Amino acid sequence: MSPSGIDLGLLFLAAVGGGAVNALAGGGTLITFPALTAMGVPALHANITNTVALTPGYLGGTIAQRRDLRDQRRRVKVTVLPAVAGGIVGGALLLKTGTTLFDALVPWLILLATGLLAAEPWLKRTVARRLQSPAVGNANLIGVAVTAFAGAIYGGYFGAGLGIVMLALFSLVLPDSLRRVNALKQTLSLSANGAAAILFAATGNVVWTAAAVMAVGALFGGSLGGRFAGRVRAGVLRGVVVALGLAVAVAFFLK
């Protein structure tokens, strides 16, 4: 499909909002994905286009946290390729799913992402305690690589809430500070989404005009959200996005 000028303008605003929400509380996909479907983009193509459009945002996050990666070069080397492979596997599974089955899965995927966002504060506290627990033991690089691969499959398939999925998985195998693990998670999220985006780009399923406009909007929104990070209550914003996610899930169930 070829979105109209008005559609592109609305998608730009949705991407600005999604980028800002990602910077402030997370859950931007719960804004951008429904916006694409509201413009008449089929759910499968909307998910693919959304992945391509939001990938630059992961690059910005990785660059912003590069200082916390300096002492983790070995981990990065061991985990990037599994994350790339997982992103490709997840993307291939999405393409294999087909439109009919994916349409049936969409409301459940949105509910999953909404639940992850709602539980994020509790999950982060639990993860932080777990990372520092002696029970985790020394980092097993093979286990970390397998964990990166598993999380990346979800990222390539749908991706909403990927960050908290990665953090929760890493808490099982990687003893370290939440800040450093978060930086590693950001890098691997970029790897997974970037690999899936490249796969999708080769399939002809991306609505490129929408993806380009949304990529610019998401970058602008992320920058805007960063500026207002200290002035907006993340908990309140998270609650609004969770409510939106539930409403969107209900709308898809009723389709």
Half-sphere exposure of 83 (CA within 13 A, CB side): 25
How many Å apart are CA 144 and CA 237, to the nearest integer?
Answer: 32
pLDDT in tens, 53-109: 988 877 776 777 778 888 888 888 889 999 999 999 999 999 999 889 999 999 999
* Residue 29 contacts residue 50 (beta carbons within 8 Å): yes
How many Å apart are CA 49 and CA 214, to the nearest integer?
Answer: 9
Instruction: For 25, list phi and psi in degrees, rounded to 5.
Output: -145, -20
What global pTM score does this model have?
A: 0.83
Q: Any idea where the domains of the chain sit in the sequence?
A: 5-253
pLDDT in tens, 190-228: 899 899 999 999 988 899 999 999 999 988 887 776 566
Give percent helix, percent strand, percent coil of the chain, each to the nearest 5.
80, 0, 20
